[in-house]
Amino acid sequence: MTTRLRAADLAFWALLAAIVTSHAVVLWQSITANRLWEDEAFNLSVPLNLLSGAGYTSDGTLSGSTLTPFDPRISTGPVVLLPVAAVLATGIDLVVGGRIVPALFFVSLLIAVALLGRRVGGRWGALAAIAMPLMFTAASLPSPIQGPADVLGEIPAAALIAWSLVVLERRPWLAGLLIGLAVQAKYLSLLAVPAIVVGYVLLRLGTPWVKRIRGMILPAVLVVVPTVVVEVSALLALGPRGFWEHVGMTRGFLLDGGQSSRGVGADAKLGALFASWHVPSIVVVVVAIVLGALVVTAVMFGRRRGIRWRSVVSDPRAPVVLAAAVGVATYLAWWLTAAHLPAWVRHPALGIFAFTPVLAAAVVPLVRALIRASSGWRVVGAVGASGLVVFAAVSVAGAVGGALSEDGSKLAAQRMHAETLASADEEWIATQWDQRISLIVMSGSHAALTDAPAEVVSEMPTLVRSDRTDCVGPTIAAVGRYALCAP
């Protein structure tokens, strides 16, 4: 028995070291090697303008190409961008400095899911929970989360949601505040509210409903507080008329996601979801079937043992697991049924990062119960567990391999081209929405779109693909395969 325990300890610590090392590699590459893509650059225009004295203002690249305070098209909120501005105020490199804040949020996400995983499945549950973010990827084009340090709101919001689950039992008021902060990292965090409410209600089974509802008042108020602070700031900055225009634009953006003409069906989205792992889609389908079979088997096993739903719900692990299940189901159901949205897995990724680690941890006690049962159940549990371990190992290896494939050359080329653009000393540069936006922002200029109103862009130089478009007037600078054309 002692030898077996010692072997289990060695296996645990070896696997933990491997997973932590894998995360470190992926995170380092995300900070220092991945190219800066256009959504990141657009988000970075806010802290850059803030530091230049223009206030909480974007370049308005997607909103008419004029400086736009509290731009609704910047869906990554001040909970992320204000700390980014603080880091950039030190004079650090724009890309590295911008990515430090999301990287720290990602580390906090891992800590939160490890705590939740340990609560659900002990140390092996914690291990399964922190492995899950390595297994899933939302890096598919054209709207990727390239890595955990991207200057985007999804990872920070997922971290805040996970921490709200951690503190929900003892400090529901803090859970409410964390959800409110998550909303001001990414609006889509609102979809996590049903999961948190389910968790709260289940944690207080046996408490009178009146008392439970009364206990939700303060957390509900604190969910709203961060948004009220931001909107009051917008009102003071924009004035009443500008504020109502801002509210209308925000409402429109929330309803159509800025993608009103790219909607696809649920089948295409499911295909994108199955392709968002570091293994072939068919393997993911098989794993999903195995997981479903394990759950069904566990239910059958529980019923034969006389275990009923009431006793399951009263288990101290149940509130977290059921809340996570509701969270995943809510995000996927919204995405799959939102006919106006494209098959970009980035949309539900927030909920996947926040909640699936808890479900991964829940597999541990499920398998453990089957293995400890009679021989027939033991075989099912052992085979299922073995398959899941292989899937996890291959996925983690794929994540590390994918991260190491980025050697930093693209980011280095972006920096070089940005220096060339900076030497032109142009305040505004117009271009199309692609990686040229990143070059412009990195150069210190404001980025406009060529399809903005003519009175806005007619006097701006234009950054074009030199292999596709010739400058009509003089060429100001040659920037790699691009050319900066005079107005």
Please indicate whether residue 367 or residue 373 has the higher confidence score (pLDDT): 367
Q: What is the pLDDT of residues 284-332, one digit of tens each?
A: 988 888 888 777 776 776 666 655 555 555 677 889 999 999 999 999 9
Which position has the token pair 């210190």?
444
Residue 217 has pLDDT above 60, yes or no: yes
Which band of pLDDT confidence, cut at 50, 70 and 90, is reported for residue 116?
Answer: very high
Residue 211 has pLDDT above 70, yes or no: yes
Given a contact cutoff of 8 angstroms between Cβ atoms, the answer to whether 121 and 364 are in contact is yes
The span from the CA of 431 to the CA of 235, in Å, is 31
Backbone angles phi, psi at 113, to 5 degrees: -70, -25
pLDDT score at 308: 58
Residue 231 CB burial class (10 angstroms; 0-12, 13-18, ≥19)? middle
The per-residue pLDDT of the chain, averaged, comes to 90
Locate 483 and state its tokens: 């050319």
Sequence-ordered list of residues with C-beta below 8 angstroms from that of 176, at least 6 positions apart, any chain: 164, 196, 218, 219, 220, 221, 222, 223
pTM: 0.94
Pick from 179-193, 202-216, 227-241, 451-465: least confident: 202-216
CA proximity to 176, closest of 218, 227, 113, 207:
218
Q: What is the pLDDT of residues 132-176, one digit of tens each?
A: 999 999 999 889 999 999 999 999 999 999 999 999 999 999 999
Pick from 48-52, 200-204, 318-322, 371-375: least confident: 371-375
Which band of pLDDT confidence, cut at 50, 70 and 90, is reported for residue 341?
Answer: confident
357 C-beta neighbours (distance < 10 Å), count: 31
pLDDT score at 422: 94
The pLDDT of 30-49, averaged and rounded, is 97
Pick from 133-147, 163-177, 189-203, 463-477: least confident: 463-477
pLDDT score at 8: 79
pLDDT score at 138: 94
pLDDT score at 2: 66
Establish whether the linkage from the previous residue to 148 is cis, with ω within 30° of 0.
Answer: no
Alpha helix (H) ranges present in 339-406?
346-371, 375-404
pLDDT score at 313: 59
Pick from 39-48, 281-290, 417-426: least confident: 281-290
pLDDT score at 11: 86
CA 407 to each of CA 53, 267, 395: distance values in angstroms, whole numbers, following the listed order: 36, 35, 21
DSSP states along 18-67: HHHHHHHHHHHHHHHTS---HHHHHHHHHHHHHHTTS-SEE--TTTTSS-
Backbone angles phi, psi at 262, to 5 degrees: -120, 15
The pLDDT of 361-378, averaged and rounded, is 76
The pLDDT of 226-242, averaged and rounded, is 94
Backbone angles phi, psi at 149, to 5 degrees: -105, 5
Query: Quick one: what percent of the chain has pLDDT higher than 90?
Result: 68
Taken as a whole, the chain contains a residue count of 487
Pick from 7-11, 243-247, 325-329, 421-425: least confident: 7-11
CA 66 to each of CA 45, 233, 252, 460: distance values in angstroms, whole numbers, following the listed order: 12, 20, 19, 12
The span from the CA of 95 to the CA of 144, in Å, is 17
